[in-house]
Amino acid sequence: MRLGQGLNQKELTAKANVHLQSIGKIERGKTTKLNHKTKNGLAYALGVPAEYFEAVCRGIAVEAASRLKFCQLAECWERSRIHYGCL
């Protein structure tokens, strides 16, 4: 996903506000659980629902997760209040 958007790890780190080591562990499959901040930061940075990352960690088909919707309103993200289904 990161490469598909033309981002290197440092750029993703800055955009998602996630530590560089965390990005590396996630990409190498060394992390199976993501905390709220990491999950939402990556979702915001990559433009996908946070549930996508939960699905990947649980081994659920990504196609099923990609059907989920999430709010794209900036105020929802700034206040860490995501309203699913607001599209």
Query: Which residues, including other chains, have CB under 8 Å from residue 6's CB and lie 6 or more apart?
Result: none
Residue reference for tokens 């709220």: 36
- Is this structure's pTM higher than 0.85? no
Q: How confident is the model at residue 72 (pLDDT cuts 50, 70, 90)?
A: low
Considering the domain boundaries, does residue 86 fall inside one?
no
Q: Look up the CATH number of the domain holding residue 47.
A: 1.10.260.40
Q: Provide the residue range defining the domain that includes 73.
A: 3-78
Domain contains 83: no
User: Alpha carbon 43 to chain centroid distance?
Assistant: 3
Q: Is residue 45 part of a domain?
A: yes
What pLDDT digit, counting tens, does each position of 12-64 carry?
999 999 999 999 988 888 877 888 899 899 989 998 888 887 777 777 766 64
Looking at the structure of the chain, the number of domains it has is 1
